Every structure is written in structure tokens, then in C-alpha cells.
Amino acid sequence: QVQLVESGGGLVQAGGSLRLSCAASGRTFSRYGMAWFRQAPGKERDIVAAIRSGGSTYYADSVKGRFTISRNNAKNTVYLQMNSLKPEDTAVYYCTARSGGSSYYTVESYDYWGQGTQVTVSS
């Protein structure tokens, strides 16, 4: 039902910035909870940031104060602004969506996933 396409990844030096975008094709986008996850080689896929349909946000401790998640419902798009990037931010970043509410920001709680976009931060 929902297709998600990420863009904006790339190579950046430590301290730099990137903005990721996720374009959604599904109906009633404004009602979906959206999130960004990331997965580094050999690591689990973990939550980075989430935004509910009502606009409330959640950030992993590792990115709090550096990353900002936002959404533009008129454009069916969610963004992740990443500032002060660190080498440990290097990962594949995934956009994801869920149609229902949840108390958890886990892989299992989300329904639809994008293909991922690579972010590499050099030292």
C-alpha cells in the first residue's frame, strides 16, 4: 500500500551535514507515524528518530541535539536533517511508516520500509 523512497545520502566529513528525504506514495500519509532507522555493518537496525501523525518527535540519545526529523504532509515527505555528523553515524538509513499507534520504536512495530540510503562520515 505504501511505497517509501529515500534520498540524500552520501559521503561527508565529520562535522558536516546532510538532509535525508523520504517520499511516500501511500494514501492518508498525514495519519502515518514515520521514522528513520539506521544499520551499520554487523549491527542491529536501530531507531534514529520518529515523528507521530500529531507531530511529536522522538530521538535516540546518540543523535539528540544533532538530528531533526520533520514532515511535510502536503508533499507526503519526511526529512531527517543531520548536523555535526560523526564517523559513528555511518550506516544505511531507512525510512519507515506505520498506520497504527505504538509505544515502541522497534523494527517490528513498523509496517513499511524504504530501500535505504547510505550515509558515510569520514574522519
pLDDT one-digit tens code per residue, 83-121: 999 999 999 999 999 998 888 999 999 999 999 999 999
**What share of the chain has pLDDT > 70, as a percent?**
100
| 40 band by pLDDT with thresholds 50, 70 and 90 | very high
Give me the pLDDT at residue 106, please: 96
Three-class secondary structure assignment of 25-71: CCCCHHHCEEEEEEECCCCCCEEEEEECCCCCEEECCCCCCCEEEEE
How far is it, in rounded angstroms, from Cα 34 to Cα 79? 10
The residues facing 108 across adjacent strands are none
Average pLDDT of the segment spanning 71-85: 97
Vertex 22: Cα angle to 55 and 107 (nearest 5): 75
Average pLDDT of the segment spanning 25-34: 89
**What share of the chain has pLDDT > 90, as a percent?**
92
Give me the pLDDT at residue 28, please: 82
How far is it, in rounded angstroms, from Cα 92 to Cα 110? 17
For the chain, the average pLDDT equals: 96
